[in-house]
Amino acid sequence: MRIAIVNDLLLAVEALRRVVSSVPGYQVSWIARDGAEAVRKCQADRPDVILMDMLMPIMDGAEATKRIMQTCPTTILVVSSTLGGNFAKVFEAMGYGAVDAVKTPTLGKNGDAEGGALLLVKIAAIAQMKDKSEQSALLKSGLLRQDENAKRKSSSLSVPLIAIGASTGGPNAIVEVLTRIPKDLPAAVVITQHITIDFAPGLATWLAEMCKWPVRIARDSDIPRAGEVLIAGTNDHLAMISGGSFRYTAEPADTPYRPSVDVLFGTLASHWKKPGVAVLLTGMGRDGAKGLLTLKEKGWYTIAQDEKTSVVYGMPAAAAEKGAAMRILPLHEIGESVARNIRKL
């Protein structure tokens, strides 16, 4: 795999170079010191993956991501060492098509790159996304099995539920959907967006500011509550268990999608008392399509984003192929459709 590095800091470039070079079959194709240089080099020599910093001179990483995706679409992974005050740029880049975000590894006192393991996991996941199947792993995990004897919390399970899954381009798409859902709609919202644990709290804060909804990271034992948005916030999967509460699980361990939309959707189908509305938004790969079909078969109203408005028409396309979506809609129509169908429940 040919991997490009875009970063203006020499120590960061060296740390990234050492992490990439530590894996047989990975090689650094080129290095750019700013976003403008990255755009030029990508047009001349398109790599398999670009590791894109955010704060750089001349052109920042968000603008570079936008221009690369317009002129020579390439898989871009945001790699940033500056989190504070930088979340908006990260989510802007993801809105333009960056697939995920991870912290930049550092050089230790002995010269070894530290913190590179998660970066390598993300790169490996990118390589698997197009054709990896998770169904057997989901079934092995036991998360899709219904516990018929479990005690139900009927009061919590009576709340109408909106479930949203997204990946590449997801943050901006989620904003578009939530801002078109009335704040007084008596429904709970749960979201799985492919994003690293370091960036999930920033996503929750950013969404709350953009949408004016109460948004927070889901915790173990949380129960959906009307008027509140919960977001999967770890590198494990957010799953619903018997009784209608959430917990995080590492299983299935071999899925390239973390956190997985299929895990969330599949466990909602097993453990949520009444049908709700499920939405699958823009994203690379096929995550969420199987889970959306399962929800449809359980009586949920299911929606997928259309190709024209998707940054990457991977996940919604997979749902369309399976017949999992009852409606395929442009992004600006999804929120209103969600609200209209929640009111029918």
The residues annotated with a catalytic role in the active site are: 167, 194, 287
Q: How far apart are CA 244 and CA 273, in angstroms?
A: 8
Q: Kindly report the CA angle at 119 between 118 and 120, in degrees rounded to 5?
A: 90
Nearest CA-CA partner of 61 in 50, 70, 73, 46? 50
Radius of gyration, alpha carbons of the chain: 20
DSSP letters for 248-296: EE--STT-SSSS-HHHHHHHHHHH-SS--EEEE-SBSSSTTHHHHHHHH
- In the chain, what's the furthest Cα-to-Cα distance? 62
Nearest CA-CA partner of 165 in 324, 50, 52, 323? 324
Q: How far apart are CA 102 and CA 126, in angstroms?
A: 13
4: left (phi over 0), alpha (psi -120 to 50) or beta: beta
> Which residues touch 66 (CB under 8 Å, ≥6 apart)?
93, 96, 97
List 50's β-bridge partners, or say none: 4, 76
Nearest CA-CA partner of 98 in 131, 37, 57, 49? 49
Q: What is the amino acid identity at position 307?
A: E
> Which residues touch 70 (CB under 8 Å, ≥6 apart)?
none
Q: How far apart are CA 64 and CA 34, in angstroms?
A: 9
DSSP letters for 313-342: BSHHHHHHHHT--SEEE-HHHHHHHHHHHH
